[in-house]
């Protein structure tokens, strides 16, 4: 199957390369971003079509990609075999001269390159192991492979079936051929690289030099949440990559009157809306900034904007609307359920103004992040932040905590635990607050006065801050939701790279801080630690999946390992249980979810559902009655019970 995957990857690249050349991008960054968008368009369109045919299997996928590659080659030939922008590599003398003139930029480049090379090794060695991946992202991929379709199935965790699927389709691609999640984490790793290219292109389009643009793109890669997300199978970096590609190609298309870039920007928009619901919250601030800039300039590029709007509509229909239509068909709502998007929790207990005011204050406080700062400096910083935050909340009349403001049982407190690099709880480190936010705030005002395009990322950030504050109850894991707007604000950081003695000292300090934070984040990620007693190196690959699991989850692991390969197991699971583990390391088991859960699992129920293996979350969901022995064997690992039917002839 590995050979088939390599062949399929070649076909996908042939499709993307041929069409990217046909669109004739005016620059190398534009070509690379176009290539990224077209690769994803190929994967998503193929998955959607084959899902309708219930044919998501290796050979049909290979055949579909071969057909699309052949069509792309024919279009390329009909267009006169256009070539992408030429790549001119600098001479040895030019490199030496550049190193001497901007050694800090070269040091930053080397540090980022080495770190992301290390993170690629981590992706290979450590299987996805955060709870979101095991309960939602990878579980849905395993069910897609089992059902050969993206259609929904009975589940207590509606996110598996109803959330936008485009990022997980990237994981599906490799897992379908390899029957394991060996390459699943590279979906976000490549998304981080693609986002940095768009950041470079945007910064250069805003008038910054190539060196300044490179500085901004590299600094973006050092932010803790970007480093951490690049080794997960979540979807926040992939959504950020699509959003930044959309904005970059749009600005380039408007500036150069290039219809091809506008079409690809529309495709990126469709892909973004099919990746994560939070992308919707990015659009109002972006649209406001874009409208102001377009209408305040003469001549107004109204026709080009209308072309782009048409491309966005087509991109959404082809590459984003699939899940919304499917949800409407199965659930009667485009988002599956109204609570999915809002995550309101107890929001009805507080007013909208109170919710927004509290959430904005909490998120800005959380953005004062010390992830990646070495100990004991980080501990001192956390304590100082808590004192400052408590005083600010009191002065502004913002309540520290209230059940009506929180999602589920999560509460907000200034008694923050020790700072740590966590895929769930980190934000964007000290530079995210000390460098990003001041520049975004400055351009949210200066952009209006100067009628400058840098107003767009600034308004996008503040629009997102207000909208997420008013639509979602608070939880401590929402830092990753900001990946897209932080990426759009990254080009503004190019202003920190200025010539002169004192500015060079300042940017040198920025580089030192950025590289330190990036390195500490990479090696102390609590989900994938590279140093310390839980370091991954001495563990087997299977053990690395359980680095952060508590005793309850370890018991669940032992129960999963009791199921032989190739078996069918029925499961009665609770919201956010790590259901993915039931499929096995090589996805050889068949999983049958039982939902809604029965009142109790007793002999009568088991006789009506003659599965040999049944996994039950028995505490607070579905009690298991006493069962006759030796007909049934029950293994207990609270809160789970694993029922094994001893009668071999009764298994389905």
CB atoms within 10 A of CB 91: 9
- pLDDT tens by residue, 20-51: 999 999 999 999 999 999 999 999 999 999 99
Q: Is the pLDDT of residue 485 over 80?
A: yes
- Check residue 408 and give its pLDDT: 66
Computed over every residue of the chain, the mean pLDDT equals: 92
- Check residue 409 and give its pLDDT: 66
Q: Is the pLDDT of residue 344 over 80?
A: no
Q: Is the pLDDT of residue 273 over 80?
A: yes
Q: Is the pLDDT of residue 149 over 70?
A: yes
Q: How far apart are CA 178 and CA 217, in angstroms?
A: 33
Q: What are phi and psi of 634, to 5 degrees?
A: -120, 120
- Check residue 64 and give its pLDDT: 98
Q: Is the pLDDT of residue 345 over 70?
A: no
Q: How far apart are CA 145 and CA 157, in angstroms?
A: 18
Inter-CA distances, 344 with 340, 470, 472, 474, Å? 9, 9, 5, 9
Q: Is the pLDDT of residue 598 over 60?
A: yes
Section 437-445 average pLDDT: 96
Domains and CATH numbers, the chain: 90-125+163-544 (no CATH), 551-650 (3.40.190)
Burial class (CB in 10 A: 0-12, 13-18, 19+), 566: exposed
pLDDT confidence tier of residue 288, bands split at 50, 70 and 90:
very high
Section 184-193 average pLDDT: 97
CA nearest neighbour of 357 among 389, 394, 387, 399: 399
């Amino acid at each position: 199957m590995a050979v088939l995957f390599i062949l399929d990857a070649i076909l996908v690249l042939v499709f993307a390369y041929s069409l990217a050349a046909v669109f004739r991008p005016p620059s190398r960054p534009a070509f690379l971003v176009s290539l990224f968008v077209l690769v994803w368009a190929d994967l998503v369109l193929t998955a959607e079509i084959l899902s309708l045919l219930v044919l998501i299997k290796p050979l049909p996928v290979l055949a579909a990609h071969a057909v699309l590659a052949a069509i792309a080659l024919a279009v390329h030939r009909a267009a006169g075999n256009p070539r992408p922008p030429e790549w001119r590599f600098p001479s040895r003398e030019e490199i030496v001269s550049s190193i001497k003139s901007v050694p800090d930029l070269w040091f930053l480049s080397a540090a980022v390159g080495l770190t992301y090379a290390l993170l690629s090794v981590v992706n290979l060695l450590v299987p996805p192991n955060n709870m979101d991946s095991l309960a939602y992202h990878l579980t849905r991929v395993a069910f897609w492979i089992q059902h050969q379709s993206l259609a929904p199935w009975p589940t207590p965790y509606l996110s598996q079936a109803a959330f936008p699927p485009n990022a997980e389709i990237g994981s599906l691609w490799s897992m379908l051929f390899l029957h394991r999640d060996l390459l699943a984490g590279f979906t976000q790793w490549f998304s981080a690289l693609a986002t940095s290219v768009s950041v470079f292109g945007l910064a250069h389009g805003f008038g910054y030099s190539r060196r300044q643009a490179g500085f901004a793109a590299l600094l973006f890669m050092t932010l803790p949440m970007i480093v951490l997300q690049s080794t997960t199978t979540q979807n926040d970096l992939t959504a950020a990559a699509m959003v930044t590609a959309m904005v970059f190609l749009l600005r380039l298309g408007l500036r150069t009157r290039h219809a091809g870039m506008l079409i690809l920007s529309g495709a990126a928009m469709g892909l973004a809306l099919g990746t994560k619901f939070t992308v919707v919250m990015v659009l109002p601030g972006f649209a406001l900034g874009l409208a102001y800039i377009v209408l305040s300039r003469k001549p107004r590029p109204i026709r080009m904007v209308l072309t782009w709007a048409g491309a966005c509509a087509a991109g959404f229909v082809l590459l984003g609307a699939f899940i919304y239509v499917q949800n409407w068909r199965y659930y009667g709502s485009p988002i599956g359920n109204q609570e999915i998007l809002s995550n309101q929790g107890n929001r009805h207990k507080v007013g909208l103004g109170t919710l927004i005011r509290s959430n904005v204050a909490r998120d800005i406080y959380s953005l004062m992040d010390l992830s990646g700062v070495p100990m004991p400096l980080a501990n001192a910083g956390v304590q100082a932040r808590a004192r400052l935050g408590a005083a600010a909340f009191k002065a502004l009349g913002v309540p520290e905590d209230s059940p009506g403001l929180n999602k589920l049982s999560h509460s907000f407190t200034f008694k923050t635990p020790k700072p740590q690099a966590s895929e769930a709880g980190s934000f964007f480190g000290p530079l995210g607050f000390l460098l990003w936010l001041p520049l975004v705030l400055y351009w949210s005002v200066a952009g209006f006065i100067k009628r400058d395009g840098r107003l767009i990322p600034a308004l996008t950030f503040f629009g997102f801050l207000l909208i997420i504050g008013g639509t979602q109850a608070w939880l401590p894991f929402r830092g990753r939701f900001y990946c897209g707007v932080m990426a759009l604000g990254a080009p503004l950081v190019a202003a920190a790279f200025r010539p002169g003695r004192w500015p060079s000292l300042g940017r040198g300090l920025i580089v030192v801080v950025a590289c330190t934070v990036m390195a500490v984040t990479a090696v102390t990620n609590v989900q994938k630690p590279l140093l310390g007693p839980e370091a991954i190196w001495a563990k087997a690959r299977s053990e690395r999946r359980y680095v952060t699991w508590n005793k309850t989850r370890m018991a669940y692991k032992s129960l999963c390992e009791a199921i032989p390969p190739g078996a069918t197991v029925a499961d009665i699971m609770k919201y956010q249980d790590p259901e993915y583990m039931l499929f096995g390391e090589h996805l050889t088991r068949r999983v049958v979810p039982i939902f809604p859960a029965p009142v109790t699992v007793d002999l009568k129920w088991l006789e009506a559902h003659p599965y040999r293996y049944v996994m039950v979350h028995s505490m607070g969901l579905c009690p298991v009655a006493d069962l006759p022995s030796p007909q049934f064997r029950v293994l207990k690992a609270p809160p789970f019970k694993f029922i094994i039917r001893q009668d071999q002839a009764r298994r389905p």
